[in-house]
Amino acid sequence: MTTTEILPDDAVLRAARRARVLAAMEAADVDVLVLGREANARYVSGTPRLWTAGSRAFGPGCVVVRATGAVHLLSTWDEGVPDEIPHDHLYGITFNTTNFVTVLSGIEGAAAARTVATDGLTPGFAQLLPMAFPSATLVDGEQMLARTRAVKTPEEVEAIRASVGHAERALAAAEAALVPGVTERQLTGVFMQAMATGGITTPAGQDVAWITSRTSPWQRTSRDTPVAEGDLVAFEAGVVAGGYAGELTRTHRVGADGTDGDDTRDEPSDADLSRRQHELWERLVAACRPGAPASALLDAYDGAGLPAPPVPVARGLGLGFDLPLVTHALPRTAADQPLEAGMVLVLTAWVWQEGVGARFDQEPLVITPAGPELLSTHPFRATPR
């Protein structure tokens, strides 16, 4: 019988992340950081805890003390907990919230803490935390953490690159199964099977393959719809490996021979769609420069004369939800922040034409001092046809 051991994140990876958080706490004069969001807790602790998926109310799942660098973690066992977090820094699950007050108030440095930051809060814990930290002022720590996590360490970039590689390999299996008559659900099943065979059990999304609509810019049919010749089929390939999401999207046109139709037999309307996507892609990549405003990615759509996509133009990849988030759905001022070297994001090149469908492709990249570096082994390259 084979067993799978739960291991902590790589020592170099977790040390670099924790050092960044402690530096951010120092800069913001935060004495204690109380974390409830799982991605933030894992970023600091390097512990892949079980039974943490799904939405839940705020609770103190992880505590960081700036003065000592100590991490205290909500965990009922040691499996997956790194050696630098000793057993006496673990505390168990309790349904009595006053027990949390006892635990938190017993942490070294709690009584003297002047500023305590949290990444969330509920009315109940807004009353309880002052009891655990009687001398402290409670402040919002989520923005500090979001800024810290937005720029990746070199080790994080490699972890994301590895996740993208897993997604690519599973995607290749699904692409090979794309023939007329196969259903969206069957293509998704092929992807999931290949992903699991590769040792990854967590997809980044539920629906992998879907036929783009010829009558609506953004509409999905039932997942049992069979693929037909001429359909534009989008594959949203995403996995979570080591906590890091690796995602990319590819669109294929089903040709008369069951291939994606990337040859001279393309219909004129699809060729026009490809040319517009090519122009858009060139504008998007050119905008990914350190110091450039994130809003330049919005300008790429406007400059190409294209409508806003129904999904973000760019979004961060990392542990859970990371910045930047660049979308036409938010006020433009939300995208005025500059892009920075070390940011990892997924770019969206989306074009749609009535009667044809959509070409919806996404590519993960890291912004380096020299410009964007694509993270996939076989990157998407829109070419005019």
Domains of the chain: 11-149 (3.40.350.10), 151-374 (3.90.230.10)
> In the block, which residue shows the tokens 């066992």?
77
CA distances from 320 to 118, 172, 257 (A): 17, 25, 40
- Please tell me the predicted confidence (pLDDT) of residue 379: 84
Positions of the chain with pLDDT lower than 50, given as ranges: 1-3, 256-266, 268, 383-385
- Please tell me the predicted confidence (pLDDT) of residue 223: 66
Contact of 300 with 280, CB cutoff 8 Å: yes
- Please tell me the predicted confidence (pLDDT) of residue 384: 42
- Please tell me the predicted confidence (pLDDT) of residue 259: 44
- What's the predicted TM-score (pTM) here? 0.91
What is the token pair recorded at 280?
Answer: 């858009």
- Please tell me the predicted confidence (pLDDT) of residue 120: 93
Burial 222-245 (b: 16+ CB within 10 A, else e): ebeeebeebbbbbbbbbbbbbbbb
- Please tell me the predicted confidence (pLDDT) of residue 333: 82
- Please tell me the predicted confidence (pLDDT) of residue 101: 92
- Residue among 310, 316, 273, 308 at smallest CA distance from 150: 316
- Please tell me the predicted confidence (pLDDT) of residue 54: 66
